[in-house]
Structure 1
Amino acid sequence: MESQTQYKAVALIVGVTGMVGVSLAEALNKPTALGSPWKVYGVARRPKPSWFPSSTLHRYISFDACNFDETYHHLSSISNEVTHVFWVALQIGETEMVNVSVNSLMLNNVLKVLTISPTSALKHVALQTGTKHYMGPIFEDMTQVSKIVPGVDPPFPEDSARLPGLNFYYALEDILISYAPKLTWSVHRSSIIIGASSRSIYNTLLTLAVYAAICRYEGTPFRYPGTRFTWEHFCDMSDSSLLADQQIWATVSDKAKNEAFNCTNGDVFMWKNVWKFLCEVFDVKYEPLDDEIEFDFAGEMKKKGSVWDEIVEKKGLEKTKIEEITSPEALKAVMQFGFQHVCSMNKSREYGFFGYVDTYKSIRMWVDRLREMKIIPTI
């Protein structure tokens, strides 16, 4: 059997096929990774996709974490190895009550199995959440998104008081806190995440890429699906590799234990400028925002399933369905906020994490990666 002594730490990435999960697997395998060398296990509900970088994992494990018996069957044998859990999994239901129930169940099942044995090796859990922490369950009523007022003025600081009402991010944080002092934890609140995966629920860049590919294929305008406010005001993003780096940093930094951190690229942008850039990247004609045109983006995207099927077939892409890889309702919601969606990165820097990413370079890099993975077509 392989000696465990060659590894300083053993990671379990729950949600490994999502954008940040893929980035974590790749980052932990770098010789320069903090805490290296790492042994890396990856967990996902579905079988491994063809584009997944298999060499980044010691083992790919597929099971439903909502089922305790399945969770025990697959994880109990490595509970004496796993030292760090990276929780980047989520399931989204129709209500926040469902979100709280399902996501809490998954986290509770995994942590219970990994800690139930007296030989448990688990030390730290890194939990990824997001800016919904500051805004509440924004996607429950899409018609009211533009009327949302966040609980604190942006840029959002991590010490903001929790908002009233249900929020599954709060529930997951409370589960981690309940394990202290047996375990330490860190929380990582992302903005709009961009990365490369066909298995992330909220994948803004992939939604835009599919939309652009359809517009190019049909010769239709690449219209902005948001409002004048978001077109002309600041927003930020989170590169999935940067999120991975911050989570790894927090697992090995004593100062970062039991703390929550925002994680964004460190710059801000206006959608009107990014839209021009996206037109260049996707080779579509630039269409400035026209307030006079009514545009039901989500409704139009729902009609394009057969068009996407044609593109997939003609371009020899990974077999995907448009409803599985895009989130037009979520994208439109973000582009209809009545406030500037910006996070403070002060705390992260004060505690010693100085990572940053140029958002424009990040977009181009991840588009290239999605093309290499044959998830979207090349120009």
Structure 2
Amino acid sequence: MDKQDQNPKHPSSSVALIIGVTGMAGLSLAEALKNNPTIPGGPWKVYGTARRPPPSWFPSSHVDHYITFDALDSTDTTQKLSSISQEVTHLFWVMFQRLKSEEINISNNSTMFKNVMSVVVDSNKGRSRLRHVTLLMGTKHYMGPVFDPSLVGQLIGHDPPFKEDSLRLPFPNFYYAVEDIAASYSPAVTYSVHRSSIIIGASSRSLNNSLLTLAVYATICRHQGLPFRYLGNKYTWEHFCDMSDSRVLAEQQIWAATTDRAKNQAFNCTNGDVFTWKSLWKLLSEIFDVEFVPFDEKEKFDAVEMMKEKGEIWDEIVEKHGLYKTKMEEITCFEALNTVLHLQFQHVSSMNKSREFGFFGFADTMKSIRTWVKKLREMKIIP
């Protein structure tokens, strides 16, 4: 037994610190750690953190303690995390900030991660129990900073299917910066990198929530009697894409955090299947009871501009159905989704490395869509 575990101040069980617990990934991660007795290293004590207090839909049973702090503020980070810093054995980093400039993204995300690591590891001078850091990243690793408008037309990414051994691209990328900080703590603290595709889950507090964005769009179309027109181009309509169910992502993160062979490795994490947006559009039309509208390349459609004027309509829908109070601009990501739906390559990642290392989690994407829409309705985020 580790000497630190013999200290009565420190329980022998694992202690997780989830940074970003109210997002899609954080919710599924907390639920898995607290509610799955078969997970190695348990029973798990879970500290969940976010920048804001918990929303009414957040299940208090998912965490032992909820902590509110601003990771960009080093003083606030120290004040809020110092009292638990010597307990934490596993840090799950499942949050990020994304602004217009990738250089600002690098600065902000690096600062937040450094602030947390400074409290949990650096300030404890050898007394830290932290063993592993789990980083949630994504396919921007292979595509470059596609959301930075200053780099539009300049990016040349890797050919799909994306593979983990691909070299870093010669563009600024906050994923690279955060990964390098985590690696700097090795070998004392191991780490794993998890590159998700489009994450599907249930939360009103995830920056890139494509499913909720589509749900809001479909709900407004139904409410106003508008055609449920596809938001992308002909290429994405017809070609393959993949997604990452937040439950599969949680399963892989916990697996890597508790499996020696997976330490200091990067893994793609998708559901393991592919779909076309045409087939998904048919499913969404059925779920939200709107007429399926085939893609027509002749019709020019700017979804981002159209939805900028729909905030008051969403307010009406929230009021009519007694939903959890949200503002449309806070829960949707039309600009990000618009970028993804106008790609000119198939957004598909290889899961071979994960399988070779022993992770076999998977999900049926179409079934996942139904499950998470149902959950969003139960949470009263959508009608």
TM range (shorter): over 0.9
Match of 1:360 in 2: 366
Instruction: State how 1:64-103 maps to structure 2 within 5 Å.
Output: 64-103=70-109
Using the aligned pairs only, state the percent identity. 63
Select 1:264's aligned residue among 256, 266, 270.
Answer: 270
Shift of the 151–161 alpha-carbon distance from structure 1 to 2, 3 Å rule, reads same
- Supply the distance in 2 between the matched residues of 1:89 and 1:151 (Cα, whole angstroms): 24
Shift of the 171–71 alpha-carbon distance from structure 1 to 2, 3 Å rule, reads same
* Residue 249 of structure 2 corresponds to residue 247 of structure 1: no
Match of 1:22 in 2: 27
Contact 1:99 1:168 in 2 (8 A): yes
Shift of the 120–234 alpha-carbon distance from structure 1 to 2, 3 Å rule, reads same
Select 1:275's aligned residue among 278, 281, 294.
Answer: 281
Deviation of 1:143 (Å)? 9.6
* Residue 219 of structure 2 corresponds to residue 213 of structure 1: yes
Structure 2 gaps, min length 5: 1-7
Contact 1:9 1:37 in 2 (8 A): yes
Contact 2:144 2:155 in 1 (8 A): no
Deviation of 1:46 (Å)? 0.6
- Supply the distance in 1 between the matched residues of 2:129 and 2:229 (Cα, whole angstroms): 52
- Which shifted more, 261-270 or 113-122? 113-122
Contact 1:149 1:339 in 2 (8 A): no
Deviation of 1:183 (Å)? 0.4
Contact 1:80 1:121 in 2 (8 A): yes
- Supply the distance in 2 between the matched residues of 1:103 and 1:143 (Cα, whole angstroms): 19
Select 1:121's aligned residue among 126, 129, 133.
Answer: 129
* Residue 183 of structure 2 corresponds to residue 177 of structure 1: yes
- Supply the distance in 2 between the matched residues of 1:376 and 1:194 (Cα, whole angstroms): 15
- Supply the distance in 2 between the matched residues of 1:226 and 1:155 (Cα, whole angstroms): 21
Structure 1 gaps, min length 5: none
Q: How many residues align?
A: 373
- Supply the distance in 2 between the matched residues of 1:282 and 1:248 (Cα, whole angstroms): 34
Contact 2:100 2:147 in 1 (8 A): no
Secondary structure in 1 aligned to 2:244?
Answer: strand
Secondary structure in 1 aligned to 2:326?
Answer: coil
Shift of the 344–189 alpha-carbon distance from structure 1 to 2, 3 Å rule, reads same
- Supply the distance in 1 between the matched residues of 2:339 and 2:56 (Cα, whole angstroms): 31
Contact 2:145 2:151 in 1 (8 A): no
Deviation of 1:177 (Å)? 0.7
* Residue 146 of structure 2 corresponds to residue 138 of structure 1: yes
Match of 2:291 in 1: 285
* Residue 45 of structure 2 corresponds to residue 52 of structure 1: no
- Supply the distance in 1 between the matched residues of 2:9 and 2:298 (Cα, whole angstroms): 64
Contact 1:138 1:148 in 2 (8 A): no
- Supply the distance in 2 between the matched residues of 1:25 and 1:40 (Cα, whole angstroms): 7
- Supply the distance in 2 between the matched residues of 1:331 and 1:23 (Cα, whole angstroms): 22
Deviation of 1:202 (Å)? 0.4
- Supply the distance in 2 between the matched residues of 1:15 and 1:224 (Cα, whole angstroms): 31
Shift of the 150–360 alpha-carbon distance from structure 1 to 2, 3 Å rule, reads farther
Secondary structure in 2 aligned to 1:42?
Answer: strand
Secondary structure in 2 aligned to 1:331?
Answer: helix
One-letter code aligned to 1:28: L
Deviation of 1:35 (Å)? 2.2
Secondary structure in 1 aligned to 2:61?
Answer: helix
- Which shifted more, 330-339 or 25-34? 25-34
Cα displacement string for residues 334-370 of structure 1 (whole angstroms, at most 9, x for unaligned residues) = 1100000000000000000000000001000000000
Deviation of 1:33 (Å)? 2.1
- Supply the distance in 2 between the matched residues of 1:142 and 1:284 (Cα, whole angstroms): 37
- Supply the distance in 2 between the matched residues of 1:105 and 1:212 (Cα, whole angstroms): 38
Deviation of 1:79 (Å)? 1.3
| TM-score of the two chains, using structure 2 as the length reference | 0.95
* Residue 235 of structure 2 corresponds to residue 229 of structure 1: yes
Deviation of 1:32 (Å)? 2.0
One-letter code aligned to 1:250: A
- Supply the distance in 2 between the matched residues of 1:294 and 1:94 (Cα, whole angstroms): 25
